[in-house]
């Protein structure tokens, strides 16, 4: 049985949705056999949702400077990039049920049950959906329960470590091809909250960036050193603690200066709850501050020149 969903977009609609010209779509189809739309009774191409997502992914790679040939090769080598269509698209219901099972299992310190539910989630949904629509809401809920003292510190540590290990494994499973534009991701010096940055890194890898994940508490001098050495396209930093915000503003200014002096077009992207209610800092970081929602991430990437 094919997992491909039924086609329902014509070539004009796909052109509009993806920004890839109809002629280019036909060339990609003939030359690379990467998208094989169905035909309707009149013989016109009809594209499925899955086809559209594949085209969007390819278009993003081309925008990033990868040749279409290389992009197709990457797609074949790493099937994980393709959004997985569940055989039965139970979508939100299935995610809600998995959410419930994982929370119950973690409350019970039952790693086996929580892992089984995670595996099920990954067999049904793409990694990004699992990270953003399953793990993130669970973490936010855990954070709130912890703040209301409904969850012990031991429970919070257990759950944080459970997800940290899974998110790190998911990040490793996504390609980090050297041809892709480079992102350095790190928590600033003194910062240990890295679950949000891990999710953002998965999001970026799924969009065709090569993310080097530097993790928690990166000393500032070492950050400057690695930026000078690797000259990344993007530096993405996380700051969870409000106390670290003044240091983050200095880091931001210094990085912008390095990019200017070194003449490499680096963009800085800074997020984390430390900045959430600090309007002054957000103003200082204009163009670099990115809020915690997927919409903000999409908007920031769209505006990337």
Q: Which residue has the tokens 């900045």?
A: 275
Count of alpha carbons within 13 angstroms of residue 166, beta-carbon side: 25
Round to the nearest angstrom and report the end-to-end CA distance of the chain: 42
Q: By rule CB under 6 A, what count of residues binds ligand B12? A: 35
Rounded Cα distance between 275 and 298, Å, is 19
Q: Contacts with ligand B12 in 21-60 (CB under 6 A)?
A: none
Q: Which residue has the tokens 């998208």?
A: 35
Q: Is 79 exposed, middle or buried (0-12, 13-18, 19+ CB in 10 A)?
A: exposed
Binding residue for ligand B12, selected from 111, 113, 292, 301, defined by CB under 6 A: 292
Q: Contacts with ligand B12 in 117-156 (CB under 6 A)?
A: 136, 139-140, 143-144, 146-147, 156
Distances (CA, A) of 117 to 32, 103, 227: 37, 10, 39
Closest contact distance (angstroms) between CB of 240 and ligand B12 is 5
Judged by beta carbon, residue 128 or residue 194, the one nearer ligand B12 is 194
Find out whether 64 and 26 touch, Cβ atoms under 8 Å.
no
Closest contact distance (angstroms) between CB of 167 and ligand B12 is 9
Closest contact distance (angstroms) between CB of 21 and ligand B12 is 32
Binding residue for ligand B12, selected from 10, 56, 160, 254, defined by CB under 6 A: 160
Binding residue for ligand B12, selected from 7, 37, 232, 271, defined by CB under 6 A: 271
Q: Contacts with ligand B12 in 185-244 (CB under 6 A)?
A: 190-197, 199-200, 236-238, 240-242
Judged by beta carbon, residue 14 or residue 198, the one nearer ligand B12 is 198
Per the structure block, which two tokens stand in for 139? 């973490």
58: which residues sit within 8 A by CB, 6+ positions away? 20, 28, 34, 68, 71, 72, 75
Closest contact distance (angstroms) between CB of 175 and ligand B12 is 20
Closest contact distance (angstroms) between CB of 241 and ligand B12 is 4
Closest contact distance (angstroms) between CB of 217 and ligand B12 is 7
Our finding on whether 272 is near ligand B12 (CB under 6 A) is yes
Distances (CA, A) of 14 to 4, 177, 298: 17, 28, 19
> What is the contact surface with ligand B12 in residues (CB under 6 A)?
136, 139-140, 143-144, 146-147, 156-157, 160, 164, 190-197, 199-200, 236-238, 240-242, 269-274, 290, 292
């Amino acid at each position: 049985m094919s997992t491909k969903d039924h086609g329902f977009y014509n070539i004009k609609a796909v052109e509009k949705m993806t920004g890839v010209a109809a002629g280019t779509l036909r060339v990609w189809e003939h030359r690379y056999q990467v998208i094989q739309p169905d035909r309707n009774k009149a013989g016109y191409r009809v594209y499925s949702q899955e086809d559209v997502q594949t085209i969007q992914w390819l278009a993003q790679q081309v925008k990033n400077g990868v040749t279409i040939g290389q992009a197709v090769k990457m797609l074949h080598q790493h099937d994980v990039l393709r959004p997985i269509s569940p055989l039965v698209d139970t979508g939100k219901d299935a995610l809600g049920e998995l959410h419930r099972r994982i929370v119950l299992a973690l409350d019970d310190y039952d790693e086996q049950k929580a892992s089984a539910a995670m595996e099920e989630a990954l067999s049904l949904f793409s990694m990004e959906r699992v990270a953003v629509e399953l793990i993130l809401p669970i973490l936010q809920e855990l954070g709130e329960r912890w703040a209301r003292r409904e969850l012990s510190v031991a429970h919070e540590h257990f759950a944080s470590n459970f997800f940290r290990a899974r998110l790190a494994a998911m990040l490793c499973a996504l390609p980090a091809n050297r041809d892709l534009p480079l992102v350095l991701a790190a928590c600033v010096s003194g910062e240990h909250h890295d679950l949000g940055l891990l999710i953002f890194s998965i999001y970026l890898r799924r969009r065709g960036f090569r993310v080097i994940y530097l993790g928690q508490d990166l000393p500032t001098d070492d950050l400057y050193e690695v930026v000078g050495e690797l000259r990344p396209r993007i530096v993405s930093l996380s700051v969870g603690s409000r106390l670290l915000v003044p240091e983050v503003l200095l880091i931001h200014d210094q990085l912008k200066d390095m990019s200017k002096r070194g003449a490499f077009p680096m963009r800085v992207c800074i997020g984390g709850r430390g900045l959430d209610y600090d309007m002054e800092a957000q103003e200082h970081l204009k163009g670099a501050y990115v809020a915690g929602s997927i919409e903000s991430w999409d908007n920031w990437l769209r505006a990337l020149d």
